[in-house]
Amino acid sequence: MNITWEDLILETLPFREEILAWCKLHPEFQRGLKVLASERFLHLGMVILSYPPGTSDEVVGVYAYDYKNNPPLFKQDFIVDVGLTHNEFILYTGFPKGTQSTKYVKHINDFFLKYGKNGNYANSHHLTFEELPKDEEIRRRAKRMIERSKDLPKDITNPPQQMMVDYLAKIKEAKIGNWAEFHKLEKDTK
């Protein structure tokens, strides 16, 4: 099995299985995800869910740390789960190189036109550390990404194939372990 760096990073993202499957069905959607472009971005390993008023959509906010920007910034793209059905997703992004507008990948300005009424999502696309939400977990992870970006190898996206296979197996094992722990906790609290 040949694994790409993007496959590996995709598995580390805290996306529901339907979004991961959507990425495989819609390569333009996957290509548009900033968090997969490790040569420039690091992901925080968390998402922010919100529910815009007047719609039945779910918005998944995805933060990435653009460590090559001068000065470095946190950038947030949005994945919309249309109608909260888990079977159609639209990515709103600032269009990394090579990405064109499609049915499922749209420019971030389209997001603000549709969901930004009454100031919703204002000033949420490009943020300095100080402008991030005051949430402790977001800030802790953001600090970790800032530190991590200082020690990245020059060619971060080209590790040996066997290393990626090994890491992918560990990631999948950890996901199964987390799932089992979650369901154990869920049963214990009922």
Per-residue pLDDT, 111: 95
Give me the chain's average pLDDT, please: 84
Nearest residue to 22 (alpha-carbon basis) of 37, 10, 36: 10
pLDDT in tens, 11-34: 888 899 999 999 999 999 998 898
Per-residue pLDDT, 190: 34
State both tokens at 124.
């949420």
- Tell me the CA distances in angstroms from 151 to 13, 144, 145, 146, 148, one per residue in order: 21, 11, 10, 10, 6
Q: Which residue has the higher pLDDT, 88 or 164?
A: 88
Question: pLDDT band at residue 99, thresholds of 50, 70 and 90?
Answer: low
Domain locations in the chain? 5-156, 159-190
pTM over 0.95: no
Per-residue pLDDT, 156: 67
Report the C-alpha gap between 80 and 165 in whole angstroms.
31
Q: Name, in order, each residue with C-beta under 8 angstroms of 93's C-beta and a sequence gap of 6 or more.
A: 32, 33, 34, 77, 78, 99, 105, 106, 107, 108
Report the C-alpha gap between 87 and 68 in whole angstroms.
34
Per-residue pLDDT, 172: 74
Q: Name, in order, each residue with C-beta under 8 angstroms of 162's C-beta and a sequence gap of 6 or more.
A: none
State both tokens at 185.
């906790």
Per-residue pLDDT, 74: 94
Q: Which residue has the higher pLDDT, 154 or 141?
A: 141
Q: How far is CA 50 from the centre of its chain?
A: 14
pLDDT in tens, 44-76: 888 999 999 999 999 999 999 999 999 999 999
Q: Which residue has the higher pLDDT, 150 or 79?
A: 79
Q: Are 68 and 154 contacting, i.e. CB atoms less than 8 angstroms apart? A: no
Other CB atoms within 10 A of residue 42 CB: 26
